[in-house]
Structure 1
Amino acid sequence: MEIYLDANATTPVLDAARSAALSAMAEDFGNPSSIHSTGLKARALIDRVRGQASRLLGAGNGRLLFLSGATEGIQTAVLSALHALRARRAAGDTTAELLLYGATEHKAVPEALKHWNDLLGLGLQVQAIPVGTDGRHDLAWLKAHAPRAGLVCTMAANNETGVISDLDGIEAALAGSACFWLVDGVQALGKLPLRLAERRIDYAPFSGHKLYAPKGIGLLYVREGAPFTPLMAGGGQEGALRSGTENMSGIAALGAVLEALEDGKSFRDHATLVRFRDQLAAALQQAFPGLVFNAPLAHSLPTTLNFSVPGLASRLLLDLFDAAELRVSGGSACSAAKAQPSFVLQAMGLPDEQTASAVRMSFGPAAEEAFIVEACERIRVCGETLRENCLAPAGNQALVGDGITRFLLDGECGWLLADATSRRCIVIDPPAALAERLAQQLRCQGYPVVAVLQTGPQAEGAEALRAAVPELLAEETGEAWALGTQTLRRLALSEGRCAYLLDQRVAFAGRATAAELGNAVLPATLLAPAIDTDNRIASTPSSALARTAGPAPSLDPAALQALLREHPEALLIDVREPFEQRLGQTPTLETAVRIEAMPISRLLNALPAWLAMPAEQPIVFFCRSGNRSQVAAQLLQRLGHERAYSLAGGLALWPQRAAVADPALYV
């Protein structure tokens, strides 16, 4: 069962909202601009939902218009305010020089400010309001700058940290200023009492999909008397404030959500939500000792936790949670694909190592007790899995090391060679930035390190690793090192470079080409590079090296099932890392099939056996998303096995619920 803990990004649609939307499509489908009975019924529905929203938001005499969501609401509000400011300037009032927004504001706000400021030719200075380490606005700074501001934009609650803004303090700081005030209310809807008309707020946008309504429906509050310029001109719908035929199914669904808020039964009260958050926080602290929360819980939404685990990158934590079917995020969903540290946490002045490991966990106010209990249990299992796989900052279990493991960062490859029989290991080309990660692996493994080698003249990585594990160093000088029944030999090259040959099966070639290695290697010797920006993993000196194959064929689930019926001898290979295999799932298949666990970081160990298989035997790789499996399938094709495939979209797109991984399935 999926445990969805990314509600600040979006929420599932409430059952009542889904029913209301379908009913509007089938029964109340009329155009509310029509004057016949069907149209009048649609108009009545709109008026009813608008009345509900007005009561819940405390809108008073302010206007509420339906639109597509918060982004359109922000654009409309910014355009309205800036159009009014331009009229003021034309009349000789040049007081407004600044457009201010909270430094932790959603990117939609500063981008809208810059866009309309440029398009309307105002030339005003767009400036961020600083925040403290608690994520709250610097009210003294705001008070000092407010007299020169034309528009001030703040959030009711932050989408990444859950920090609740001091709206009363902001209002006091704006006293005496003629500026307009926009408050992003997206994360506050259903969680905070906003009482819009009691404050001087001019504009407040909301998105339905953040609170169990479908995507594509939202609201914009406009204070009575605040200037307004339509973003959408046309047929004059919404009282000529937003043209375009109204989204009746979306409005009906939003109405069902608002009705659920009013009835006081469908959503948990504040005290219950705080208790749920505290349960999650306790589970996180138990699973990840040393965990820190990036925002004070006392000033945050009870449905949001933003935390970091020192020593663990957020990417690893996200993969860990995803493998356990806990859906969380590293911050704003709009910025997630960019894989950059959170600008919100940076604006709060948090250390780089803290922002680099940040994770956001958020749930909706309709969450049930059983949901939270299950989430807490999976969080604890995630912590155990990290320690079992030597990935936790502390408290790791002993690890049996054997074979070749690749460590990759930004195209730099480091290689760990371990032999479980002799309990010896060697490290080749350790990237300096991965010294601590490698050191942790070595400490868990506990083998003496008989050599730390470099294929090039640079020694920063080797020195960093030696400094990290002095207690494990047992370095042996010479030109050859024994690893059980294998021998690693040094091959001198030009310009102070060298390569290392593991019984001619594998050559750790550094930056050397096959031609430079010459007769020291065989046509089938695997060449393991020190730099691999294209993520090719390995090559050989044989004709396969010249192959320029494109992406390997990807099989959708139906095509995979058909392949397995035709080729029961096919082999499925799980290239996820061990912690993912421990927590994750395998495809539910119609026929019995061999499944082999071979993480992509250890692929070199299995390549010779796979390449020795009959040419007609299909080998299908799978992972979570399809990216790593595509890399593995391409590698096998380049090395000469034509029938290598990738599972399209990975397990994430598998149509049936995947089966929990059973170690007995693996060979």
Structure 2
Amino acid sequence: MHPSPALSQIYLDANATTPVLPQAAKAALGAMEELFGNPSSSHITGLKAKSLMEQTRLRAKQILGSGQGKIIFTSGATEGIQTAILSALIKAKASLDPNKQYSLLYGATEHKAVPNSLAHWNQLLEIGAEVKAIPVDDKGALDLDFIAKEVPNALMICTMAVNNETGVYQDLNALDSCIRQHNPEVFWMVDCVQALGKRPLALAQTSIDYAPFSGHKLYAPKGIGFVYIRDGAPFTPFIAGGGQEGGLRSGTENLPGMAALNQVFAMLLAEQDTPFHSGERLEHYRQQLAQALLNAFPTLVFNHSFDNSVPTTLNFAVPGFSSKEIMDLFDAANIRVSSGSACSSKVTRSFVLDAMGLPAWQSESAIRLSFGPAMTQLEVDQACERIQSAANALGNSCLTLSTDDVSTDKKPLNGLVQLKSGSSCSWIYADQQSKQAVVIDPLPELGQRIDTLLQCQQLSPIAFIDTHGHADHVSGRVELAARYLPEQTSDHLGWPATHQITEIGARPAQSLSLGQLSLVKVATPGHTKDSISLLLCSAEGEVLYAFCGDLVLMGSLGRTNFDSSCAKQMYNSLKLLHSLVGDNTLMCPSHDYNNEFTTSFAAEFRVNPLLNEVINGTITMAQFEQQKARLDTHLKDEAGSEIICGAYTGGCSKAKVKEYDSQTLNQQVGSSPNLKLLDIREPHEYALQHELGTLGQKTINVPMTRLVQFVQENQLDREAQWVLVCRSGSRSLVAAQALHRLGFNNIAHLKGGYALSDN
């Protein structure tokens, strides 16, 4: 694949925010340059400004069908939510029965702004109601039976018209009937942010008391929104001050924002010459995008039904890929999507999909693709083409299998690959010359990826081996071995019955041939009774890598409080392993809890005093057993949580590494001709985009999955100047800290990555 340095942006994250339409931007600029008056002023300039404000309000009322209800302009939906909840709860508090327990209800898939605000005002106003989530079914529809049961004791109920992650819409008429049948007086707020321009609204025909809206979700600027208040619904100003908006919302009005909204409303109301499309056209766009996604990723699943969701949102997951991996891939292809609500970008799974009862992998792998109602056919066509290009890059990286058996763009794999699922690691060593591979500690979650890699690279595995019986997961070894090595006889860890006998450390050991290399098995019990270490040795006998299971972890030693554990055996195993591999051989454990990739005895001596004492002989076996028992008491296993396989013996603080921005990096490159740029993104990302202006010519791609091999190959060149680069600067910082830990002292990274590079 040939990278395109100038891929245009394909923006498919409209549920997070939208670009301002040119017509709206022009109107906002006019309000800043010409119609800039204060609506509270009584002179002509002020009167014109007020006229614009009232015209915007009138058009909003037309679009919402608000009847006699009020429209109050706000800074956005969050302020509207606060206004609604504060108004309702202050009114409710005035008539509380001290002997009665009340509740505040909200939909389980509601934007977090709602339950968080309910809890905030419930505490601040000392109401003491129980905040309860209304369950949803597997299609995201609210449980009407639950509402019927709970709403009689509710002070307020909050639902949403359209979900921001899935696009699922609620049946507002059915909700209205259910709520009012069981509690005619309860206050009802409906978050309508994602409904504007996508669903018909006739608020005056409902008993909805409050409905917040946001401008930037529909082509207006950020900082402008509005809230509908039903005629007769209680209202308490959230912001007091100069008495603007008839005393309902103080603060000088955001006239440029209103001018933009006014233009958006005018285009929504127009029957001709409008950029907004009909629901039928938007549905056509969705079907086209959905088909493009399925063509690109045949195993893809959609996380919601199209029957009860707006056509502008597609939420999907690709088996075998985390949401971050797809995000990184799409970003490299200049496609903007999200992994869920943009307001909670650090969350690793979707609470919305969890509430719908979807499998955990779908929640953890969810991607939200969303477009606005002004999307054009050209933009859809370009998006579909780009999605296929991104998928092709995955195929060229051997992460998916294409129908083409041969691709000249597929780079032959030679050496070590580290794959991770959560904190667990699988290791693959491929020998390109012999077309052989060995897979160590294969995880079931990575089975498909391992299988794809082996097929794509046309590698023949010699064995699938576990370093011990794992307490925290079921091995993926059996399934892979049944597929590739059905005739092979092996022990319970996968070590083949047919093997060679070699000598290591003046003792006999079993080994396997891997091309010109050999894989030597060494019994290293302690963490478990059956623990082994696998030493990959060169033809000259040098140990290149030690796959040590959970004997030694980064900053830690494997726990020894399982029924099959023995600290005394671990004491001997640590001494044995060190005698065989020395200080600097890279150890590749089964777990990596802090994204440190690999370690060595030398690196561990700096942070692991207990290990240091064992190897230096300053602690007896009995003393080690006592100290190890104390360490393991810090491990607290909880149901449903990951089992931690090692207690940290010291601190785990990260090193501070040098950071460059694009300007200072350019200067440094000019003055340091030996400086090298290391792009640590995966090959498919690198293939799609790796331009850093003139710096791009100096970039070497070493993906994080191959970082351990890079360390091994450059152990004698640790003083070289390396600057790590990735998409956003997050991965490059993590990798730079890990390399610094391993003795690469002149390591740095590009802060902000490609995203903030001005080249």
Same fold (TM over 0.5): yes
Cα pair distance change 1:78/1:639, threshold 3 Å: closer
1:123 aligns with 2:128: yes
User: Separation in 2 of the partners of 1:534 and 1:396?
Assistant: 38
RMSD across aligned positions (CA):
3.0
Q: Where does residue 79 of structure 1 map in the other structure?
A: 86
Matching residue's letter, 2:281: T
Matching residue's letter, 2:72: L
Moved more, 166-175 or 433-442: 433-442
Q: Where does residue 51 of structure 1 map in the other structure?
A: 58
Q: Where does residue 499 of structure 2 map in the other structure?
A: 477
Q: Where does residue 689 of structure 2 map in the other structure?
A: 585
SS of 2:282's partner is helix
Aligned pairs for 1:210-225 (under 5 A) are 210-225=217-232
User: Separation in 1 of the partners of 2:710 and 2:106?
Assistant: 55
User: Separation in 2 of the partners of 1:225 and 1:315?
Assistant: 47
Which residue, out of 66, 70, 73, partners 2:73?
66
User: Separation in 1 of the partners of 2:162 and 2:339?
Assistant: 17
User: Separation in 2 of the partners of 1:158 and 1:165?
Assistant: 9
1:180 aligns with 2:187: yes
The alpha-carbon deviation at position 611 of structure 1 amounts to 4.2
User: Separation in 1 of the partners of 2:315 and 2:400?
Assistant: 19
User: Separation in 2 of the partners of 1:614 and 1:98?
Assistant: 62
Q: Where does residue 139 of structure 1 map in the other structure?
A: 144
The alpha-carbon deviation at position 277 of structure 1 amounts to 1.1
Q: Where does residue 500 of structure 1 map in the other structure?
A: 534
Could you list the per-position Cα deviations for residues 98-156 of structure 1 after superposition, in whole angstroms to 9, with x for gaps in the alignment?
43222222122222222223333333343333322222223344345444443222211
Which residue, out of 577, 582, 596, partners 1:536?
596
SS of 1:415's partner is strand
Moved more, 526-535 or 10-19: 526-535
Matching residue's letter, 2:433: T
Partners of 2:692 and 2:754 within 8 A in 1: no
Aligned pairs for 1:584-623 (under 5 A) are 584-590=688-694, 593-613=697-717, 615=719, 617-623=720-726
Unaligned runs of 5+ residues in structure 1 are 657-667
Q: Where does residue 650 of structure 2 map in the other structure?
A: none
Partners of 2:678 and 2:723 within 8 A in 1: yes
SS of 2:243's partner is coil
Aligned pairs for 1:326-475 (under 5 A) are 326-340=335-349, 342-392=350-400, 400-431=412-443, 433-456=445-468, 458=470, 464-473=476-485, 474=488, 475=496
The alpha-carbon deviation at position 566 of structure 1 amounts to 2.3
Q: Where does residue 554 of structure 1 map in the other structure?
A: 659
Cα pair distance change 1:221/1:418, threshold 3 Å: same
Which residue, out of 303, 323, 332, partners 1:294?
303
Matching residue's letter, 2:251: G
Which residue, out of 638, 648, 661, partners 2:751?
648
Matching residue's letter, 1:425: A
Which residue, out of 284, 287, 293, partners 1:275?
284
Cα pair distance change 1:559/1:60, threshold 3 Å: same
SS of 2:307's partner is helix
User: Separation in 2 of the partners of 1:28 and 1:613?
Assistant: 65
Q: Where does residue 105 of structure 2 map in the other structure?
A: 100
User: Separation in 2 of the partners of 1:156 and 1:385?
Assistant: 38
User: Separation in 2 of the partners of 1:115 and 1:462?
Assistant: 43
SS of 2:329's partner is helix
Partners of 1:430 and 1:462 within 8 A in 2: no
Cα pair distance change 1:266/1:458, threshold 3 Å: closer
Q: Where does residue 489 of structure 1 map in the other structure?
A: 520
SS of 1:384's partner is helix
1:259 aligns with 2:266: yes
User: Separation in 1 of the partners of 2:87 and 2:341?
Assistant: 26
SS of 1:469's partner is helix
User: Separation in 1 of the partners of 2:658 and 2:153?
Assistant: 61
Matching residue's letter, 2:300: L
Matching residue's letter, 2:126: G
Partners of 2:110 and 2:159 within 8 A in 1: yes
SS of 2:59's partner is helix
Which residue, out of 22, 38, 41, partners 1:31?
38
SS of 2:686's partner is helix
User: Separation in 1 of the partners of 2:16 and 2:25?
Assistant: 19
User: Separation in 2 of the partners of 1:452 and 1:308?
Assistant: 28
Cα pair distance change 1:331/1:40, threshold 3 Å: same
Cα pair distance change 1:35/1:166, threshold 3 Å: same
Could you list the per-position Cα deviations for residues 299-342 of structure 1 after superposition, in whole angstroms to 9, with x for gaps in the alignment?
221211122334443333222222222111222112231112x2
The alpha-carbon deviation at position 34 of structure 1 amounts to 2.9
Partners of 1:574 and 1:598 within 8 A in 2: yes
Cα pair distance change 1:411/1:136, threshold 3 Å: closer
Partners of 1:429 and 1:530 within 8 A in 2: yes
SS of 1:220's partner is strand
Partners of 2:80 and 2:227 within 8 A in 1: yes
Could you list the per-position Cα deviations for residues 247-279 of structure 1 after superposition, in whole angstroms to 9, with x for gaps in the alignment?
222222222222222334122222221111111
Matching residue's letter, 2:386: R
Moved more, 623-632 or 445-454: 445-454
The alpha-carbon deviation at position 373 of structure 1 amounts to 0.3
**Structure 1 vs Structure 2: percent identity of aligned residues?**
44
1:308 aligns with 2:342: no
Could you list the per-position Cα deviations for residues 446-497 of structure 1 after superposition, in whole angstroms to 9, with x for gaps in the alignment?
5343234444565887953133332323534352222222223334446454
Matching residue's letter, 1:576: R
Partners of 1:545 and 1:639 within 8 A in 2: no
1:249 aligns with 2:256: yes
SS of 1:593's partner is helix
SS of 1:122's partner is coil
Partners of 1:561 and 1:589 within 8 A in 2: no
Cα pair distance change 1:645/1:123, threshold 3 Å: closer
Partners of 1:573 and 1:596 within 8 A in 2: yes
Cα pair distance change 1:576/1:199, threshold 3 Å: same
Normalised to the residue count of structure 1, the TM-score between the two structures is 0.89
- Aligned pairs, how many? 651
User: Separation in 1 of the partners of 2:27 and 2:721?
Assistant: 49
Matching residue's letter, 1:7: A
Q: Where does residue 676 of structure 2 map in the other structure?
A: 571
Cα pair distance change 1:74/1:96, threshold 3 Å: farther
Partners of 2:348 and 2:364 within 8 A in 1: no
Aligned pairs for 1:145-160 (under 5 A) are 145-160=150-165
The alpha-carbon deviation at position 346 of structure 1 amounts to 2.3
SS of 2:367's partner is strand
Matching residue's letter, 1:200: S
The alpha-carbon deviation at position 3 of structure 1 amounts to 0.8
SS of 1:607's partner is helix
1:632 aligns with 2:639: no
Partners of 1:611 and 1:636 within 8 A in 2: no
Cα pair distance change 1:151/1:544, threshold 3 Å: closer
The alpha-carbon deviation at position 160 of structure 1 amounts to 1.2
Unaligned runs of 5+ residues in structure 2 are 1-7, 489-495, 501-509, 558-573, 608-652
Q: Where does residue 638 of structure 2 map in the other structure?
A: none
Partners of 2:84 and 2:189 within 8 A in 1: yes
1:198 aligns with 2:198: no
1:14 aligns with 2:48: no
Could you list the per-position Cα deviations for residues 479-517 of structure 1 after superposition, in whole angstroms to 9, with x for gaps in the alignment?
222222222333444645443333223333443488653
Moved more, 241-250 or 126-135: 126-135
Partners of 1:570 and 1:620 within 8 A in 2: yes
Partners of 1:267 and 1:366 within 8 A in 2: yes
Cα pair distance change 1:427/1:396, threshold 3 Å: farther
